[in-house]
Amino acid sequence: MNLQKIASNVQMICEAIASVVNIDVTIVDQNLVRIGGTGRYKDSIGVHVGLQSAFHYAITEGVAFVIENPGTHQACLSCTCREKCSEHAEMCCPILADGKVVGVIGLIAFTEVQRSALISNQTNLMSFLNRMAEMISAKLKEQERTEAVEMLAKELEVVVDSMNTGFVALDADGKVSRMNAKAKTIFKGYKTEDLSDLLSEKECVRILTEKTTLKNEYYVDVRGHRGIFDSAPILIGGRVKGHVITVKPIQEVINVLNEMTQDVVRTQFSDILGTTDVMWQAKETAQKVAESKSTVLLLGESGTGKELFSRAIHNASTRAHAPFIAINCAAIPDALLESELFGYEEGAFTGAKRGGKPGRFQLAHKGTLFLDEIGDMPLHLQTKLLRVLQESKVMPVGGESMIEVDVRLIAATHRNLEEMVLEGAFRQDLYYRLNVIPIQIPALRERVADLPLLTEHILNKCNDKLYKSVNSVSSDCMEELMAYTWPGNVRELENTLEYAVNMAEGPVIESFHLPKRMVQNFEKTHAHVKREIEPLETLEKRAILEALNYFGNGKAAAIRAAEALGISKAKLYRKLKEYKEN
Ligand SMILES: Nc1ncnc2c1ncn2[C@@H]1O[C@H](COP(=O)(O)OP(=O)(O)OP(=O)(O)O)[C@@H](O)[C@H]1O
């Protein structure tokens, strides 16, 4: 505590004392610096009074005293000027704050008249100086408290200003009393006198009438921008004296959500394993289109890696740092799919969340939306989806205004959309809109040559997960894996190997570690060998018909059947012609 902080008050008190007692007054602080003074001391304010002065004695001893005969008092003994002291008498009174000496008030008589006045009236004068010392001490403490409050207010201001959330303080009527830097950015260009200048009427009424806190509520502001707010009333003596609200724009909330839910390790094309031609083709096309905004349609059976491709495309695109949002149309009941995709407004239906909820399109704003199993989307939603793709705007369920969205769409299906279009189960216009860049992801049975590579990779993953060290598959077992048809594709391979790693006692997986269904399948396949020997031509015909049966009709299917049979497309057609003619 330093008297310097209340220097002007100290000087006023010096002058007040001097005018009452008619003797020169000076006040020094605990460092012996003169803070106030009258008469001959006025000019030396701010100056150090010297260690030999009586004030030094008053500070170190912490007592009040009167020097009636300068030069002889205890306080004068160390003074070098005590032989030729110009003072006739002196009264010193320490100023105490919290038990510590923070300064001294001194009355100094320079004439005999002043001396006798001081000495004859010393009891009253000392009591007067004590009162003055108490007053100075009280003023000093008040100043300290004011500074502490100012400091606290400043600290809070710095904290509130550094928050990445808008903060608005209101009085009980909704007048804005304070906004932090973030709130000023969020509401830049708005009138900001009243809550009604910021938020729409519905939210204002809720905030100002609510006597408890509101958390994570959805708001729409006066310009139609959306966000999430918390609010709390300021209660003093049980009465609402004001409110504080914190606001966050919806896109920032979404970004945080996505940061936390994105792949921890971002899927890259190099994570998609496979060196067979069919796989190279698929990867090459996907890599080529990753950067564009065009819609991609991933076609392939379940478990072939459609989501993996979709994530790799997103992560290789310029949207990589924006959200990747996936939704499986087949996994969500029809009644909920619309609100999941496009969001809903408060009160849109029974059970709707207060404040509404943003849909996946809004969540994917600036990023990529992966619509898995698009073939399972009901027709009425296909119509709505088409509109969204054409207009880049969504209308939440129960909403009145469209919300702009900038989303790159990647759709996927295991179904034959072309056939569905012919059957009237899929809208043709939507099909064309989605089919801009179709990419066929091959089934695992079409790329059995990739099995060893995939197996090695999956074994490593299983070992990490199960704390095992299974590092290979016996050649018999690999033969069985290659002979299997893998209806569940890579996902099924993953599950099969996880089962086998659990079963294996040593470092090698043997056939008998595989799940029963696979062993049976292998026996069935090998049972062919034991059948009667048949002419090559019959075997060839059976193989061709089986392949066609397997891959289906149409040009693309014929190409894949020919590839699988290891013959040219021309040869396949020639054979089919022969069979028809015979
Ligand atoms: N080429 C691949 N390389 C490595 N892992 C793969 C590959 N393809 C698929 N996988 C793995 O197989 C599993 C299934 O893949 P994913 O979920 O991408 O398939 P999907 O085609 O989207 O399946 P569904 O249609 O059933 O949703 C995942 O664990 C994925 O990592």
- What count of Cα atoms within 13 Å lies in the side-chain half-sphere of residue 206? 18
Query: With a cut of 0.90, is the ipTM above it?
Result: yes
CATH number for the region 267-440 comes to 3.40.50.300
| Residue 335 vs residues 166, 332, 368: alpha-carbon distances, Å | 36, 8, 24
Q: How confident is the model at residue 322, as a pLDDT? A: 87
254-268 residues labelled b (16+ CB within 10 A) or e (exposed): bbeebeeebeeeebe
| Residue 356 vs residues 218, 226, 359, 399, 514: alpha-carbon distances, Å | 7, 11, 10, 10, 49
Cβ of 494 closer than 6 Å to ligand 1, yes or no, is yes
- What count of Cα atoms within 13 Å lies in the side-chain half-sphere of residue 35? 27
| Residue 144 vs residues 102, 147, 342, 363, 490: alpha-carbon distances, Å | 13, 5, 58, 52, 73
Asked if residue 232 lies in contact with residue 240, where contact means CB atoms within 8 angstroms, the answer is no
Question: Average pLDDT, stretch 444-463?
Answer: 94
- pLDDT tier at 167 (50, 70, 90 boundaries)? very high
- The residue nearest atom 31 of ligand 1, judged by CA position, is 308
- pLDDT tier at 382 (50, 70, 90 boundaries)? very high
Ligand 1 geometric centre to CA of 272 (Å): 9
Cβ of 301 closer than 6 Å to ligand 1, yes or no, is no
Neighbouring CB atoms inside 10 A of 409's CB total 22
Minimum-distance ligand 1 atom for the alpha carbon of 279: 1
**Cα-Cα-Cα-Cα dihedral of 343, 344, 350, 351, to 10°?**
50
- pLDDT tier at 257 (50, 70, 90 boundaries)? confident
Dig out the tokens for 284 from the structure.
Answer: 């090459």
Ligand 1 geometric centre to CA of 305 (Å): 3
Domain boundaries defined on the chain: 3-145, 163-254, 267-440, 444-530, 536-581
Ligand 1 geometric centre to CA of 288 (Å): 20
CATH number for the region 444-530 comes to 1.10.8.60
- pLDDT tier at 462 (50, 70, 90 boundaries)? very high
- The three-class DSSP label of residue 178 is strand
Question: Average pLDDT, stretch 395-406?
Answer: 88
Instruction: Tell whether the model's pLDDT for residue 294 goes beyond 80.
Output: yes
Q: How confident is the model at residue 519, as a pLDDT? A: 67
pLDDT, one tens digit per residue, over 541-563 is 888 888 887 787 777 888 888 88
Q: How confident is the model at residue 553, as a pLDDT? A: 73
Which residue did the predictor score with more confidence, 349 or 290?
Answer: 290
Substitution candidate for ligand 1 out of 490, 492, 497 with most atoms within 8 A of CB? 490
Cβ of 308 closer than 6 Å to ligand 1, yes or no, is yes
Q: How confident is the model at residue 550, as a pLDDT? A: 78
Q: How confident is the model at residue 208, as a pLDDT? A: 92
- Write down the CATH superfamily of domain 3-145: GAF domain (3.30.450.40)
- Average pLDDT score over the chain: 90
163-254 carries CATH number 2.60.40.10: no
What is the C-alpha separation between 165 and 245, in angstroms, rounded?
10
Q: How confident is the model at residue 83, as a pLDDT? A: 80
- Going by C-alpha positions, the residue among 408, 410, 400, 405 that lies closest to residue 373 is 410
**DSSP collapsed to 3 states, 497-530:** HHHHHHHCCCCEECHHHCCHHHHHHHHHHHHHHH
pLDDT, one tens digit per residue, over 72-102 is 888 888 787 778 888 899 999 999 999 999 9
Q: How confident is the model at residue 354, as a pLDDT? A: 67
Minimum-distance ligand 1 atom for the alpha carbon of 490: 12
Q: How confident is the model at residue 223, as a pLDDT? A: 86
- The residue nearest atom 15 of ligand 1, judged by CA position, is 305
Ligand 1 geometric centre to CA of 453 (Å): 15
The angle at the Cα of 33, spanning 29 to 35, to the nearest 5 degrees, equals 70
Cβ of 276 closer than 6 Å to ligand 1, yes or no, is no
Q: How confident is the model at residue 527, as a pLDDT? A: 57
Instruction: Tell whether the model's pLDDT for residue 289 goes beyond 60.
Output: yes
Cβ of 304 closer than 6 Å to ligand 1, yes or no, is yes
Cβ of 496 closer than 6 Å to ligand 1, yes or no, is no
Ligand 1 geometric centre to CA of 276 (Å): 16
Cβ of 495 closer than 6 Å to ligand 1, yes or no, is no
Cβ of 326 closer than 6 Å to ligand 1, yes or no, is no
- Range of lowest pLDDT (21-25, 206-210, 245-249): 206-210
For residue 554, give the DSSP letter: S
- Going by C-alpha positions, the residue among 96, 90, 30, 28 that lies closest to residue 60 is 30
Cβ of 382 closer than 6 Å to ligand 1, yes or no, is no
Equal fold, 3-145 vs 163-254: yes
| Residue 17 vs residues 89, 109, 390: alpha-carbon distances, Å | 17, 14, 87
Asked if residue 196 lies in contact with residue 204, where contact means CB atoms within 8 angstroms, the answer is yes
Cβ of 273 closer than 6 Å to ligand 1, yes or no, is yes
Q: How confident is the model at residue 1, as a pLDDT? A: 79
- Classify residue 401 as left (phi > 0), alpha (psi -120 to 50) or beta: beta
What is the C-alpha separation between 424 and 491, in angstroms, rounded?
31
Ligand 1 geometric centre to CA of 429 (Å): 29
Minimum-distance ligand 1 atom for the alpha carbon of 373: 25
Question: Average pLDDT, stretch 264-274?
Answer: 87
Substitution candidate for ligand 1 out of 304, 309, 448, 465 with most atoms within 8 A of CB? 304
Instruction: Tell whether the model's pLDDT for residue 529 goes beyond 70.
Output: no
